[in-house]
């Protein structure tokens, strides 16, 4: 960073668009990475020198121009709900909070165009008022921004029907380059793929167009079973049924449901949360009976999005309820082989008996996938590495939630491709420094 950038920023932006106080620097330099004890230690004390909160694209350009002119690191930030330190500035500089860039530009038949800071809860509300709905929602949709989700997340509510962010949700992106004269690049089709889940390392989003689905009347159920194995098999059968329309299928081994205190759930029973089209209730009840389960909870349609729902207890959000009462728990994220997932989990649990099963079903690349995010009590980082090795040895693919490195987390597009794009869009390499490792050929 060259001297004088702070004064230049103050000259170009109004006072209310810049935050310099220590409390704001700490607040906006953090996300939910404290859920990982490894990341909490690794990222301790990493804070920005300034928080920029542009309210217009012109103000965003001024931030970019100053950063490029003075070689100041830039870290884009949305709602701050991601868990892996994506928006923590490793080298200081400016955190760019995009939550004021939140306009819904256009709502049409089957699509919505928005600015990067558009709130996903508001987008869902507007879409449903128009007889449509979002394809995917993170469990933190009430706070999440769309750019934050597609840059830091990958799936969520709706993934069982529509897949992940790579499966066609995003129709186009407008990307602003980081240079003294910022340019706008329109990205469409397969060219979108590398930008998704890239932690804002290869460009700053200024506009997003996403697909919408027809609005559905969703009912929420809690179906319980004697053991997690039966719950998982029921969940698989439901997820794999092409006739039954669903938005969520989420499995929890007991005692995980005991932490879901807002709901009155039976003791000592594994739980499957199901979000289902109301027209398919009979099929759900028949399938439940076939697997000797019980429907122990039902939330009516008129409560959907109005009260606490089952999406507040799925994907990464379920872990929040556990850690509220027992902070010793953390998790690992892995993808199982659908042909032998029970065998894989049982083998892993044999070596790590304190591990508790949590499964989310989703479509990836047109195929049914099983994502396990089991929890266990944290002891040492070395034990996490042992668990990772155990999972890999039993044929599971591990995405490490205890690293801020994009490739290390198993979520990156081909690293050499990302670097090629980064050098074009971010020639001074200022964006989210330290999150995208150099390809081996360049080291």
- Each residue's pLDDT tens digit, 337-360: 999 999 999 999 999 999 999 999
The residue range of the domain holding 111 is 104-214
Residue 123 parent element (H or E): helix 120-129
Residue 388 has pLDDT above 60, yes or no: yes
Tokens of 174: 């407008």
- 15-26 confidence digits (pLDDT tens): 999 999 999 999
Same domain, 202 and 275: no
**CATH value at residue 13:** 3.30.43.10
Domain boundary among 165, 184, 214: 214
Same domain, 223 and 209: no
Percent of the chain at pLDDT exceeding 70:
98
Residue 259 has pLDDT above 90, yes or no: yes
Q: How far apart are CA 311 and CA 292, in angstroms?
A: 24
Long-range contacts of 419-426 (CB under 8 A, 24+ apart): 421/194, 421/195, 421/202, 421/203, 422/201, 422/202, 422/203, 424/177, 425/175, 425/177, 425/178, 425/185, 425/202, 425/203, 426/177, 426/178, 426/201, 426/202, 426/203
In the predicted model, what is the mean pLDDT of residues 283-307?
Answer: 95
Tokens of 86: 């994506």
Residue 443 has pLDDT above 70, yes or no: no
Residue 151 lies in a domain: yes
Percent of the chain at pLDDT exceeding 90:
92
Residue 112 lies in a domain: yes
Question: Domain tally for the chain?
Answer: 3
Residue 39 lies in a domain: yes
Same domain, 269 and 290: yes
Closest alpha carbon to 182 in 322, 294, 65:
65
Helix axes 228-239, 341-351, angle to 10 degrees: 150
In the predicted model, what is the mean pLDDT of residues 122-148?
Answer: 97
Same domain, 162 and 279: no
Q: What is the pLDDT of residue 303?
A: 87
In the predicted model, what is the mean pLDDT of residues 244-250?
Answer: 98
Tokens of 223: 């179906």
Residue 438 lies in a domain: no
Residues contacting 327, CB < 8 A, separation 6+: none
In the predicted model, what is the mean pLDDT of residues 296-322?
Answer: 93
Higher pLDDT, 35 or 295: 295
Same domain, 121 and 143: yes
Q: How far apart are CA 40 and CA 85, in angstroms?
A: 9
**pLDDT band for position 83 (50/70/90)?**
confident
Same domain, 297 and 390: yes
Domain boundary among 49, 78, 97: 97
Residue 425 lies in a domain: no
Pairing of strands 170-176, 184-188: antiparallel
- Across-strand partners of 208? 114, 173
With beta carbons less than 8 A apart as the criterion, state whether 309 and 299 touch.
Answer: yes
Q: What is the pLDDT of residue 417?
A: 93
Question: Longest C-alpha distance within the chain, in Å?
Answer: 70
In the predicted model, what is the mean pLDDT of residues 167-172?
Answer: 97
Residue 231 lies in a domain: yes
Tokens of 260: 């879901």
Same domain, 208 and 267: no
| Cβ atoms within 10 Å, residue 438 | 11
- Across-strand partners of 371? 335, 360
Same domain, 229 and 273: yes
Residue 132 lies in a domain: yes
In the predicted model, what is the mean pLDDT of residues 420-438?
Answer: 95
Q: How far apart are CA 135 and CA 309, in angstroms?
A: 18
Tokens of 132: 């449509």
With beta carbons less than 8 A apart as the criterion, state whether 394 and 337 touch.
Answer: no
Same domain, 282 and 375: yes
The dihedral over CA atoms of 223, 225, 230, 234, expressed in degrees to the nearest 10, equals -20
In the predicted model, what is the mean pLDDT of residues 103-117?
Answer: 98
- 268-278 confidence digits (pLDDT tens): 999 999 999 99
Same domain, 203 and 243: no
Domain boundary among 169, 196, 214: 214
Across the chain, mean pLDDT equals 95
**pLDDT band for position 82 (50/70/90)?**
confident
**CATH value at residue 325:** 3.40.462.40
Residue 121 lies in a domain: yes
Minimum mean pLDDT among 30-39, 167-176, 286-295: which range?
30-39
Q: How far apart are CA 118 and CA 114, in angstroms?
A: 6
Q: What is the pLDDT of residue 353?
A: 95
Q: What is the pLDDT of residue 408?
A: 74
Q: What is the pLDDT of residue 316?
A: 87
**pLDDT band for position 34 (50/70/90)?**
confident
Same domain, 255 and 382: yes
Same domain, 13 and 27: yes
Q: What is the pLDDT of residue 440?
A: 58
The dihedral over CA atoms of 185, 186, 190, 193, expressed in degrees to the nearest 10, equals 60
DSSP letters along 93-110, please?
Answer: SEEEE-TT---EEEEETT
């Amino acid at each position: 960073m060259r001297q004088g950038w702070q004064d230049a920023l103050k000259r170009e932006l109004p006072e209310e668009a810049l935050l310099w106080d220590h409390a704001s620097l700490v607040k906006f330099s953090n996300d939910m990475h404290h859920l990982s004890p490894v990341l909490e230690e690794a990222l301790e004390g990493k804070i920005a020198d300034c928080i920029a909160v542009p309210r217009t694209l012109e103000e965003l350009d001024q931030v970019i121009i100053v950063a490029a002119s003075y070689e100041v690191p830039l870290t884009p930030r949305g709602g701050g709900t991601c868990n892996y330190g994506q928006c923590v500035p490793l080298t200081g500089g400016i955190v760019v909070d995009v939550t004021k860039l939140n306009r819904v530009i256009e709502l049409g038949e089957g699509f919505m165009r928005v600015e990067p800071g558009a709130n996903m809860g508001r987008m869902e509300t507007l879409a449903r008022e128009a007889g449509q709905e979002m394809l995917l929602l993170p469990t933190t949709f009430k706070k999440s921004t769309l750019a934050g989700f597609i840059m830091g997340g990958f799936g969520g509510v709706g993934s069982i029907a529509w897949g992940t962010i790579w499966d066609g949700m995003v129709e186009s992106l407008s990307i602003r380059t980081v240079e003294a004269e910022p340019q706008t690049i329109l990205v469409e089709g397969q060219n979108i793929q590398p930008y998704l889940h890239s932690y804002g390392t290869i460009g700053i989003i200024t506009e997003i167009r996403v697909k919408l689905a027809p609005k559905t009347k969703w009912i929420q159920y809690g179906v319980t079973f004697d053991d997690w194995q039966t719950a998982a098999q029921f969940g698989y059968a439901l997820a794999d049924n092409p006739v039954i329309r669903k938005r969520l299928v989420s499995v929890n081994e007991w005692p995980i449901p005991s932490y879901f205190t807002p709901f009155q759930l039976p003791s000592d029973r594994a739980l499957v949360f199901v979000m289902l089209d109301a027209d398919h209730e009979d099929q759900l009840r028949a399938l439940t009976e076939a697997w000797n389960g019980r429907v122990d909870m039902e939330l009516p349609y008129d409560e959907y999005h109005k009260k606490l729902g089952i999406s507040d207890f799925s994907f990464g959000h379920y872990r929040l309820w556990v850690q509220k009462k027992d902070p010793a728990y953390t998790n690992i994220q892995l993808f199982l082989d659908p042909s032998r997932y029970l065998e894989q989990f049982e083998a892993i649990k044999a070596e790590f008996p304190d591990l508790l099963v949590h499964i989310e079903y989703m479509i990836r690349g047109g195929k049914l996938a099983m994502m396990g995010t089991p929890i266990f009590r944290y002891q040492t980082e070395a034990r996490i590495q042992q668990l990772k090795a155990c999972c890999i040895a039993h044929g599971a693919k591990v995405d490490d939630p205890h690293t801020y490195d994009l490739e290390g987390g198993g979520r990156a597009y081909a690293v050499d491709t990302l670097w090629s794009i980064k050098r074009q869009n971010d020639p001074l390499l200022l964006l989210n420094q330290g999150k995208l490792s150099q390809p081996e050929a360049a080291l």
